[in-house]
Amino acid sequence: MTFTFAKRPPAPRLFVTLGAAALVTWTLLRLALWIATGPEAAGWENVAGIFARGLWFDSATLAFAMAPWLLASALLPDRWRGAGGIVAMRWACVWLTVALLLFGAVAEWVFWAEFTTRFNFIAVDYLVYTHEVIGNIRQSYPVPAILAAIAIAALALAFLLSRRIRLSASPLGGRRRAALAALAVALPAASLVAANVDQQGGSGNAYADELAGNGLFTFWAAFRRNELDYDRFYRTMDQEKADAILLSLGVEREPLGEALKPGENEDPVAQLGPLLRRPRNVVLVSVESLSAEFLGVYGSGKGLTPNLDRLANEGLRFDRFFATGTRTVRGLEALSLGVPPVPGQSIVRRPDNEHLATVGEFLEQQGFHVSFVYGGYGYFDNMNAYFRGNDYEIVDRSDFPKDSVVFENVWGVADEVLFANAESVFDRAGAKGKPFFAHIMTTSNHRPFTYPDGRIDIPSPGGREGGVKYTDHAIGKFIERSRGKPWFAETLFILTADHCASVAGKSRLPVGRYRIPLILYGPGIVPPGVNTRLVSQIDVPPTILDLLGRNGDDHFFGQGIFEDEKLPARAFVSNYQELGYYKDDKLTVLLPKRKVEAFRIDPGTYAATPTEPDPRHVEEAIAYYQTASRAFRRGKLKSPDYGGEPTARAK
């Protein structure tokens, strides 16, 4: 009897199998993110588009990922192909590739859980500040266990793939080598030409658009677009027309030298606004990631902010106050410089950002002690360089006495430590008889959400709710201690946020997710009340100068909230490339490639409905954003003493 056996089919080549493994991994990740987000949020009608467009972006990414394998195969000498050490190294590369695929999937899952987006410009920034980012991850997740699991899973998968992969030791002919090398160049080139991150949009649902993307692809796109030239990518207009439009909106943009001169026609009563009397000092507190929705006075029923709620009821609360962006540096930019968010990176992070016309510079020149007090290391996000270059005294974590630090994590000291050290700064300024202006930036409401035990009823680490409640506790203690200080009765406290905890939503710029608190508190200075006017973060700097009765408010793009309430109310919301202009319950969005979109915003729910752009709103948005971008690039936000070319006041 004769037995015959079917021949085992030849195993696919290495890069074909690895390519298929990558596509499967990315598709499963997309499926997991879709389920975690909720099919209803992404829209059932978008399911096919999510996975079809996803396959397109995965393929475009794979074209780049395969290039090193193809090139290595083309260049590997024939005499090395069968050598034991080289074969072992090639298998090690297979394992490493699988491990990196799994690591990338886990990293995207974590990033999505935090930001509900694919990798973007935030991920690019995180590569710069590896100490804080890696430390934050280590304190938030069981990193050794995760890495060990990835390594073991990659080993198991590599073993399974070895049943299908043949590492050929056969010589390669010249033509085949040339073909492999040509593919290594042609595939990425074709991907660059055919695929663009702008193709990721279009569904009308931001969740669906993000799910369709590929993290590596969006990361590279963000890296390339981290700074965008407004004039190159967005709609523009004649600058004289833009200046005239801004002047009609009350934006005078006086040169710095003229703005600092005492005004002859200023109305001190009008500038006083709702205040009972002028403060001598101002303390501006920007709380990390404090969305308005966390506070009871803005509708929360979770009881996370009893102290802020009390201060809001005893002071003046603003009901419709909006952050300009999604990062701390955007909030710091708006609260110090009073400028609309220029596309790309924040001015705080850009070169040549010293000697700008910040509220600190105005007040320093008028005899104030000016400081920036931060609970972390101020080199992060270039904060120290920015504020030091703009006439602020820097007091950060490295300046705090060691015995004052009762708790810290990788992101910064506990907020109670920050406020205690800030009080020392105010005490010194008060002892010298100088009025002071201080900008305090907190850190505790940030992952890993750890804080001292026994302060609140949520054990540490307490997640977002614990972070909010602990920060509220620290602010309450700060105000109570301040009551016993000689400078308290003459101090106006301004409590706000740098940005919201999350800006994820169905639209590109979900307006409601940019809503943050603004509270003016000062017994005997501010009567209780609620202001329902639409206000932007960029309006805070000129308002501070107005309320102090100091000069310079007419230099800003922002407008004093109380100086002229007849001026049209508007707000600015943005991410790093979509520039929003919110006015009359309409959101006008300027996009790259000179596109414009518009949405009707429900004033109660902030739900967005696509609508036709209002030509007047489009012109106003262009005038603001174009002029602000050009002003920074051309040095027109600088003092004349430092080479600036101040914008002449429009006539």
Tell whether 270 is covered by a domain: no
Residues 207 and 148 occupy one common structural domain: yes
Q: What is the pLDDT of residue 269?
A: 53
Answer for the pair 394, 410: CB distance below 8 angstroms, yes or no: no
Tell whether 5 is covered by a domain: no
What does DSSP say about strands 436-441 and 281-287: parallel, antiparallel, or unpaired? parallel
Instruction: State the average pLDDT for the chain.
Output: 87
- Which run of H or of E encompasses 62? helix 47-65
pTM of the model: 0.77
Residues 471 and 609 occupy one common structural domain: yes
Tell whether the model's pLDDT for residue 650 goes beyond 50: no
Decide which of 267 and 305 is more confident.
305
Q: Count CB neighbours of 2 within 10 A.
A: 3
Tell whether the model's pLDDT for residue 368 goes beyond 90: yes
Decide which of 412 and 495 is more confident.
495
Alpha carbon distance 493, 279 (integer Å): 10
Residues 423 and 533 occupy one common structural domain: yes
Alpha carbon distance 300, 319 (integer Å): 14
Tell whether 3 is covered by a domain: no
Residues 455 and 317 occupy one common structural domain: yes
What does DSSP say about strands 369-374 and 436-441: parallel, antiparallel, or unpaired? parallel
Answer for the pair 329, 381: CB distance below 8 angstroms, yes or no: yes
- Residue in the structure block whose two tokens are 């305090």: 440
Tell whether 596 is covered by a domain: yes
Tell whether 52 is covered by a domain: yes
Longest dimension (CA), the chain: 116
- Residue in the structure block whose two tokens are 């006439």: 391
pLDDT digits (tens, 9 = 90+) for 68-97: 888 887 887 877 766 667 777 878 888 888
CA torsion sign for 540, 545, 547, 548 is positive
Residues 162 and 255 occupy one common structural domain: no
Tokens representing residue 150 in the block: 């990835």
Alpha carbon distance 290, 157 (integer Å): 43
Residues 402 and 551 occupy one common structural domain: yes
Answer for the pair 278, 524: CB distance below 8 angstroms, yes or no: no
Residues 600 and 621 occupy one common structural domain: yes
Tokens representing residue 617 in the block: 């709103």
- How many domains, in total, are found in the chain? 2
What does the buried/exposed string (b/e) look like for 503-526 if buried means 16 or more CB atoms within 10 Å of the residue's CB?
A: bbbbbbbbbbbbbbbbbbbbeebb
Mean pLDDT, rounded, for 299-306: 96
Residues 197 and 252 occupy one common structural domain: no
Residues 6+ apart with CB under 8 A from 486: 430
Residues 532 and 583 occupy one common structural domain: yes
pLDDT digits (tens, 9 = 90+) for 105-134: 999 998 888 778 888 766 766 665 566 667
Alpha carbon distance 67, 63 (integer Å): 7
Tell whether the model's pLDDT for residue 495 goes beyond 50: yes
Beta bridge partners of 595: 591
Report residue 12's pLDDT band, with 50, 70 and 90 as the boundaries: very low
Tell whether 403 is covered by a domain: yes
Window from 22-36, 176-190, 223-237, 331-345 with minimum mean pLDDT:
223-237
What does DSSP say about strands 491-497 and 281-287: parallel, antiparallel, or unpaired? parallel
Tell whether 612 is covered by a domain: yes
Q: What is the phi/psi pair of residue 606, to 5°?
A: 65, 20
Tell whether the model's pLDDT for residue 442 goes beyond 60: yes
Q: What is the pLDDT of residue 175?
A: 85
**Domain coverage including residue 637:** 233-262+277-506+515-642
Residues 195 and 243 occupy one common structural domain: no
Q: What is the pLDDT of residue 506?
A: 63
Q: Count CB neighbours of 413 within 10 A.
A: 24
Residues 206 and 256 occupy one common structural domain: no
Residues 383 and 451 occupy one common structural domain: yes
What does DSSP say about strands 412-413 and 408-409: parallel, antiparallel, or unpaired? antiparallel
Report residue 159's pLDDT band, with 50, 70 and 90 as the boundaries: confident
The residue count for the chain = 651
Tell whether 42 is covered by a domain: yes
Tokens representing residue 385 in the block: 């360089």
The closest alpha carbon to 371, from 380, 354, 384, 356, belongs to 384
Alpha carbon distance 267, 357 (integer Å): 23
CATH number for the domain harbouring residue 526 = 3.40.720.10
Window from 75-84, 322-331, 490-499, 636-645 with minimum mean pLDDT:
636-645
Answer for the pair 525, 281: CB distance below 8 angstroms, yes or no: no
Q: What is the pLDDT of residue 645?
A: 44
